Every structure is written in C-alpha cells, then in structure tokens.
Structure 1
C-alpha cells in the first residue's frame, strides 16, 4: 500500500479538474483580479448556502475572526468566552483586539460545554465565541439563550464546519457574525488562503467591507484604520466551483466516517460521537488514544499511514499566551484531550481499499 496521508487535496481537484481550470482561465482572461464579479457572486451564493442575508469575502479565516470582534466594538478591557481546546487562531481573533479570552472546558463531543459558560460571565463579558470544532455543529440553543439573557454578542468560528447544522439550521447563521476559513485542507477549501464572514446585519456587512479594504468605503477616503484583507477574484471563482459540490464532498466524508465507526473495533481507540440535534461534516475524524498515542502514531507511520494531532498544545499553555498566567492543570479536560486526540486520514477521493487498510491496521495494533 502506498503512503496514505492524513489529508490530501489533489484528488478533490482532479475530480472536477475541467471546471476549475475553465474558471481559472476565465478569471485570468477577465483582466479584473480584485473585488470584482467573482467575489460579489461568491458572496451572494455563499450567503444563500449558509442561510444569511450577507456574506463578505476576506483574505483568511483569522482575518474573519479578528475583524468580526473589531466591527462588533470589542476590545481592551472586554472578555470573550471561548472553549479551551480550540485552534489558537480562535483565540488570536480575540487578543488581536486587546480583549481577554476566558476559557471554558469542552464537552464529550469536543465542543464548548454550554453548561459551564454562565459561571464564567462577568460584567466585562461582551461576547461568546462558539467554535464548531472538527466539523461538528456545537449546541447553539444554550449559547443563544445566554447571549439574550446577558445581552452578549455571539460569534461563530465555522472554519471547519461548512454545511454542518444544529436542529436543522446551518452553522454561521446563528450568531451576529459567522467566521469561515477556506484554507485548502477544509471541506470547502480554496487554492490558497481565503475566508469570509456571514451575517444578517446590513451594517456589520458594510463595516466589514470597509475594514477589509484599508478602512475605505470610497477610494482614498479612509474612515478607519483597516486591513488589506480582500478575497481575490481567483479564489472566489474557484470557491464558486467548490461550493457547487460541497454537499457531495460532505457526504463522501460522512461515508468514510461511517466506515471508521463501524469498522474500527480496537478497544484502545475512543471513537468520536455526534451530539443529538447536531450534524458533522467530518472535517476531521478525531479519535482518542489514552496513554499510548505516540506508540500508536509510530505504528501507523511505520505502516505508511500518516496521522496528525489537532491540537497538541492548548492555547492557554502556549508560549504566546503565557502572559495570561493560566497554568497547567487549570483546564484538565482540555489538557487531557490534547494528550489523547489523533486525527485519522480523511479526505475527498479516499479510496475504499485505503479506508480498509487503515481500519485493518488499527484493529491489528496490540
């Protein structure tokens, strides 16, 4: 068996190669490469997909996050509640604005434990950031209830959850702002860095368009100190092609996850579960290996199967956030997950014999 990567992007391209290449040539020949019809059309199509009135294309998912808090007016002295086991970009979106992250432990589904949010709310709390981790929709009912009760903003980090739903409603349509990444490895990946926000608020969409373009609504007239964070025409055009096939992509990943669910029987492996009312688009298939993860990873690697840890160091223990003064042991569930989680191979175009090989290999580990 040839080497099986944890993630690969070429097969997703080859599946619809003709359409991608046709679109790329169309953009190149148009002579218009920044903020043109491809971006405008993608924004309209993506908003319709998510179920919001507006979408604004940006340069990356991180830009979506930090600009979301910027346009919501959240900054120095303000607190934002976020789960402890997320990717560090979620936290950077808060701290780039000089606001303070307040960490909450995850639940058994790796999402924010909404039963532990209320105890963290203070008079400085201004928002809750819900991360739909690994492609599963987090439980939104309690988060919405708390935001209403305490007059808080709700931001969703949907970097991994394109198409996931909670109680039939799509992630990115619950909060004041939904933040998306289209990094190439995502289910709806671009062919470079790209991101977007979704919102039902016309004023927030207007402000986001101003901030992404140097703080300018009219050329050379700058209202605020903004950013250079424009989704370019090429990425927008290619994303329009990808969007046509997102349901197919998500269904394929769900089928791979189902095979793993049914096929992996080794008791050392703790398989993921999906919460009631939620769906997952399986951006990652994350298992837990207690005590022997390094040995398990090496065994798979020795047999040509690559795995990745998402994520080995929780943000509160990273060097970047040492200044917060949150020591080891402060978030025991987050830290336990960081020491046990492992992402198995899952990608568009993963062949059945590759899936079978991974399953059999895992079941043979002793």
Structure 2
C-alpha cells in the first residue's frame, strides 16, 4: 500500500464555510429579529412559511420545532394512535419511528430496495387491517419510489406521509418531494441541505384541515392567545430560526447544484475501484446528495484509515431500527430484513457540502484508492 505523504483536513460537513459565504445576510437577518425582540411567532415565521410553500409547491407550510415534531404532529392530526400500525423502513434515523410509539401506535418496519429507500415490492405484505399510514423516507437526498408506494397505499386507503428530512429540493418526476403524499415532514437540522442554526422543522400539505390541526397543535392547541381548542404541544418554529432559513432558502437551488457537481466528481473518480459501490442514480428522480454514501469492503478499516488522513466520514446508519434496543419490544430479530442488515455493515458517508473543493474530493478519492491498492 503506497502512502500519500501529505494531509488535507476535510470535515464530513463544513458549516463554517456555509456561514462564511452568506455571513452579511445572516447577520442582518438575526439583528433584525434581535432589534424587534419578537422571538416567538414573529413575522419572520409567516414569511418563511410563505416562501417555503412557493418553493415546495404546496398550499400550506407550518413551521415547527424539528423534523421529529413535524412527523409527530402529522400523525396526531391524522388521528393515528393506540392500536394503529404505521409502516416505515428499518434503515432510517430513529426520529422516523419515535413519534409513532409516542402516540401508542406500532411501527412496522420494512426492508429497502437497492437505492436505500423503502421497497414497494415488500410493502403490500405488511399491510393489515390496522395499517393507517406508510412513511417513505427520501434517504440521503434521493426520492423513494413514490409511484410504487402510492399505488399500493391508494389501493388500501392508507395515508402516505413523506419523511423529507434529507431531501430538500429533490424531485420525483416533475414534482418536488413534499408534494407526493397527504403531508410531508421536513427537518432543518443544521447539517441539512437547508439547515437552521439550531433545531427547526416544517410540515407541508395541501390538506386544509390537516394544516389547521397542525397549526393549532404546535402552539398549545390555539390560534389566539389563551383560547385553547385542543390539548397541544410547544412545538413552534423560533423566529430567529425562521429568519435564518429565509436567507438560506434563497441559496438552496444553487447549493443543491453544487452538491450534484461534487457527487458527479466522486462518481468519476471512484467508478474504477472494484471494492466500492457508488450511489444509484435513477432516471426521473433528482438526487440532492444530502449525503454521499458508498458501499465498501472493509468499511471500518477504511473509515479509520481516512480518519488518519484527516478525512471525516460517517455511517448512516450502523444499526437498523429493528435491531436497536429501543425497539426490542417489537420482537424483531437479526435476519428479518437481510438487505438492510447487509448494507449497514458496508455503507460509508464521504464528505459532501456545497463548498467542498475539487482538490478535497481528489484527495479523498486518492486516499480511497491508496487503501485498496
């Protein structure tokens, strides 16, 4: 194994570079909120919601405190609770499943297709009389097979709730993710393609009754002060975060193009390494590369080697939900979802963000080639 005798530091995500590029705009937006001291439900919240509906293409957007809260409030507004079942992939972050459990419903896990998203060919056999919803996750920035999922969901009259936490601006066919089900949950966690400077999220929908319910539920069951129509939650979007998101939304399409350019360079430089499987590109589905995830042999050794070379990597996700201690009450076992289990030991997330340079990607891919040489 030949050794590269120089070292470049490349983080998995570089939020400092993102801030530096729009610093003046961000600072002005934050100063504007500080000057008005309207930190809860200020005008910036409504302003962002309006801008986000225009961007996504839905009638309604309701800012909430996180992506997890968005899923929770959608499920609650749909009346999902004790005795109900909700189907979702085992290969996702736990926040997709947690709200199902909070409401007393049962998560029913599903295996994935080769593109890492819920496999519609395995969906139908999981549906029972108790099934009320399915949550496809547009993982890593790639839309799930919404045609296949929606056809089955429609046949059985179950709701489709999109988990769009990693797919801001992704497109399925001619429609953006977030417009393909009864509602969608967005996360604006700082590292997302559209990230706040703290926790934040959003529910988008074309359904007026659902939007009205979520709007009340996020703010203690009210739409006016001290008149509470529902028992709700404190899950509002902060005014400061809305101001930050309004600035960053204007740059999202450009940032997504930069991510796709970076991913294309990775593809070209990794395609001839037999030990590496690159992300799938699927016609009719525009990937926005929240993460650039490869499958590799000797994953953990490669990860440690890259760390020694100053390269930050991640694993999204090393333990499937059906094998997590938190969900042992569901009585799944190893072997239940073979494709999910197989890739959990092989996947590796390489650095990707709009500001990543050609030199950095060349260094990363050179180190990968060196490891396998």
Partner of 1:178, secondary structure, is strand
- C-alpha separation in 2, matches of 1:286 and 1:2: 21
Does residue 146 in structure 1 map to residue 170 in structure 2?
no
1:114 match: 120
Where structure 1 has 5 or more consecutive residues not aligned to the other structure, the ranges are: none
Q: Spell out structure 1 runs of 4+ moving beyond 3 A.
A: none
1:266 match: 273
CA contact (8 A) 2:86 2:100 kept: yes
1:1-366 correspondence to structure 2 within 5 Å: 1-264=7-270, 265-290=272-297, 292-366=298-372
CA contact (8 A) 1:266 1:365 kept: no
CA contact (8 A) 2:8 2:363 kept: no
Aligned positions, number: 365
- C-alpha separation in 1, matches of 2:240 and 2:304: 39
With normalisation by structure 1, the TM-score equals 0.98
- C-alpha separation in 1, matches of 2:350 and 2:223: 45
- C-alpha separation in 2, matches of 1:330 and 1:177: 29
Partner of 2:314, secondary structure, is coil
More divergent stretch after superposition (268-277 vs 188-197): 268-277
CA contact (8 A) 1:107 1:113 kept: yes
CA contact (8 A) 2:178 2:204 kept: yes
- C-alpha separation in 2, matches of 1:359 and 1:297: 13
- C-alpha separation in 2, matches of 1:216 and 1:37: 18
Q: Deviations over 1:310-353 (max 9, x none)?
A: 00111111111011110111111111111111100111211221
1:365 is displaced (CA, Å) by: 1.3
- C-alpha separation in 2, matches of 1:316 and 1:115: 19
- C-alpha separation in 1, matches of 2:306 and 2:89: 30
With normalisation by structure 2, the TM-score equals 0.96
Where structure 2 has 5 or more consecutive residues not aligned to the other structure, the ranges are: 1-6
- C-alpha separation in 1, matches of 2:96 and 2:268: 33
